[in-house]
Amino acid sequence: MMKLKTLLISAVAVGAMATSAVAQEVTLRLHQMLPQQATIPANALTPWAQKVEEESDGRISIELYHAMSLGGAPPQLFDQAQDGVVDLVWTIVGYTPGRFPSTEPFELPFMMVDGEITSKAFHEYCETHCTDEFDSVKVIAWHTHGPGLIHSNRPIESLDDMSGLKIRGGSRVVNEMLVALGAEPVGMPVPQVPESLSRGVIDATTVPWEVTPSLRISELVTNHTGFSGANGLYTQLFVFAMNKDAYEALPDDLKAVIDANSGIETAAMFGRVMDEGDVYGLGIAEELGNNIITLDEEETQRWIDTASPLIDSWIEEMTAQGLDAAALVEEARAMIDKHTNGN
């Protein structure tokens, strides 16, 4: 009788362990807009997914879906994560204009430095100032790309050359900056850029070097205009986010794996990958013999002086909406200075 009782207890225990193991295995679907070979999918999202799988001993499996292969358009990605259509997304914050106003100081002209430093600054800033706007998801990381520049069909060697150009801008703030600089902004998600350039819908596009290889930008245009000094013309803002219910459904030890792969160091990794991609993208343009223009300090200052009023107008607009906008701009600058100085 005792032997039978022991066998029954053992059987129940083994069954419970098996049930527990099955219950704790989870598959997460990660959806994003760019081709698989692009910088972030290849060198940030895929390694991130592999690291999470390894640190969970295989109990978390992450399926990557590239180039909007699960359907929808890039501006819908955030809602796909929020609504549980998918479990994880990587997307551009500015694809939903006005939805995340507290993030926008980092998009203002000549604010950012390089991708890694600005990503660390942006993530730390958002942890303090943006959580209410993102409370419908579990944020893995906020980050930025490297210095933004202009890729064009004809040379842009001075501010005067911007007049009347139809230029793709990736967000509300970037579009307003283009207007201030004399251009005609055309808003569109980045996957639409190659066709729009080849068909003449746009004359130029604002993207960093890192995205040019996957979109063949250096084959479609032959001129690339950048700037002197430490600050890039602009940057765009990204969020890597997880459906909140999917996160909460994880057992505590698997939540800990996700948490260990979230935060400022993850943001820094994404920014660093962007910087490395910039070097690669620039190299391709150089190999093709394209016209790579770096405006000198005097001409760069003309652009800074022309674009700077946008900062004041943004502060005025956001103050009217109830934000302490001047303080947010100063905080963004302070965070960039902090991480530039290695603090």
Which domains are assigned to the chain?
Answer: 26-147+235-277 (3.40.190.170), 149-232+289-340 (3.40.190.170)
pLDDT in tens, 276-306: 999 999 999 999 999 999 999 999 999 999 9
Phi, psi at 206, each rounded to 5°? -100, 105
Band of residue 2 on the pLDDT scale cut at 50, 70, 90 = very low
Instruction: Say what the pTM is.
Output: 0.91
CA 282, CA 275: separation in Å to the nearest integer? 11
Say whether 143 sits in a helix, a strand or coil.
strand
**Tokens read off for 241:** 């986010």
Compute the distance between CA of residue 302 and CA of residue 123 in angstroms, rounded to an integer. Answer: 30
Q: What is the pLDDT of residues 211-270, one digit of tens each?
A: 999 999 999 999 999 999 999 999 999 999 999 999 999 999 999 999 999 999 999 999
Q: Which residues of 181-206 are buried (b: 16+ CB within 10 A; e: fewer)?
A: bebbbbbbbbbbbbebbeeeebbbbb
Nearest 5°: phi and psi at 263?
Answer: 105, -165
pLDDT band at 343 (very low <50, low <70, confident <90, very high): low
In the three-class reduction of DSSP (H, G, I as helix; E, B as strand; rest coil), residue 165 is classed as: coil
Beta strand pairing status for 26-32 and 184-187? unpaired
Task: Tell me the percentage of the chain whose pLDDT exceeds 90.
Answer: 92
CB-based contact 163:112 (threshold 8 Å): no
Strand arrangement of the beta sheet that strand 26-32 belongs to? 60-65, 26-32, 88-92, 237-243, 137-144
Q: How do residues 13-34 score in pLDDT, each as one tens digit?
A: 444 444 444 446 999 999 999 9
pLDDT-based confidence at residue 91 (cuts at 50, 70, 90): very high
**31-39: average pLDDT:** 95
- Give the pLDDT score at 111: 97
Contact predicate 84/243, CB 8 Å: yes
- Residue position matching structure tokens 């600005």: 118
Phi and psi (nearest 5°) for 148?
Answer: -75, 145
